[in-house]
Structure 1
């Protein structure tokens, strides 16, 4: 004979597990959204626009390379 009570208990247990996972995921999402807002505000405080960060990084990399090249050109050649 089929055990309905056992099956129902199993379904309840699995449902409770899924609810707990959802709550944990929602909590984590909230934490990450708060962290994102804080990081965006920090980036703005530093004088950068979050949407332009990739271009800013490229500009800084280019500036670094230019300064390295300039420093190398100023070094004596006979060393």
Structure 2
């Protein structure tokens, strides 16, 4: 009889653990959904559609590279070479 009681207690403990895990997972999901909405809102404010994000990142990288090259070309080479 004690063996059944021990098994039932183990099952109850496992159910409680599973319930706690489910509650934590649901809370984490809510947090992630809020973060997702915040990010989407920020993108909208910036005028970027989520499906165009990769293209926008690539465009910004190209713009940065172009501006760096322009800045480098404006530096006097003889001053830079002496350093």
TM-score, length basis structure 2: 0.83
Gaps of 5+ in 1: none
Q: How does 1:1-79 map to 2 (within 5 A)?
A: 3-79=3-79
For residues 24-64 of structure 1, the C-alpha deviation after alignment (integer angstroms, 9 at most, x for no partner) is: 10111011112101210111011111221121111111111
CA distance in 2, matches of 1:76, 1:9: 80
Greater share of helix residues, 1 or 2?
A: 2
| Equivalent position SS for 1:63 | helix
TM-score, length basis structure 1: 0.87
- Root-mean-square deviation over aligned CA pairs: 1.5
Deviation at 1:17, TM superposition (A): 0.7
Gaps of 5+ in 2: none
